[in-house]
Structures are given as structure tokens and as C-alpha cells.
Structure 1
């Protein structure tokens, strides 16, 4: 069986694939909330050790990231994330 089907963590990570974004801003409002919460819970110890505030991730960082993804959904996932991690303005904003 495929790991994407059996691993809850890998399944939740699919929220970051551009092809999975909803088509409308209305659907975007709640898109990925459960998946991001599941990832935060799974990686909680490591994230908190690195100084991440999990409430901030779910309330502020995720909505900002998914809005950015939605605005750039014509790009491929790898191109979008490469720009996200290399563009200093985006690193500060998101």
C-alpha cells in the first residue's frame, strides 16, 4: 500500500501541494486547517524546541501562506516554495 494512503503525516503534508488548493477564496478560508493542526501536533516537541509558537502557526502563518499559495497557484509547488525560501521579502512577510 502507498505511504501517502497509510501515513497520516504524509497525507497531511499534501496540504502544501499547489494542485490541492481549492478553486475559490470561500473554500480557501478553512482549507488545510485540520492538516496543519495535525502536523503541528505531530511535530510539536521539535517545533516548540525551535521556538515556534504553534498557535501563531495556525492562526497567522498558515492563513498567510495559503493566501500566498492561492495568489500564485499557477506556479508549480517546487517553484513556489523555492521562491518562498529564497525571496527575502517573502521570508519576512510569511
Structure 2
């Protein structure tokens, strides 16, 4: 993923202490900005405006899956700790 940019943030809000943000572009039928956020507790999250649930039809059954889908609100997805 590369090195995260260190941000000079004194206070984002009471609960979050973001130490770095790395924006990059994802190409899935349209180009959009995705952010990888590392918090001071070591957790790493991905914030993507097109990430979410979508329905896939498989043998006549609708199956819900997580993926990149055009949505009307942002989603975040926890990916791990360092």
C-alpha cells in the first residue's frame, strides 16, 4: 500500500485520532477516490464511495454480496490492524 501521509490533525473528533490518510483511485466502471485511513490504535479502514451490498442473481436466486456498487451514501470497511 505504500507509506501513509502523516497528517497534522490536532482534533478530528473526540473518538478518532487519524494518523495518516492515503487517497488512491479505483477503476470499476468509473474512476472514484478511495481513502485508506490508519488510526492511532493501529486499525486500518478503507473509505470508498461505491463500496456496499449488491444483488447477484445465481440460478434464479438473489444473493447479497459485498462489493463496489454505485450507491447514494458512503461506506467504510475495516480491513485489519498493523
TM-score (norm 2): 0.29
Larger relative contact order, structure 1 or 2 (CA cutoff 8 Å, min sep 6): 1
Bigger fraction of residues in helix? 1
Bigger fraction of residues in strand? 2
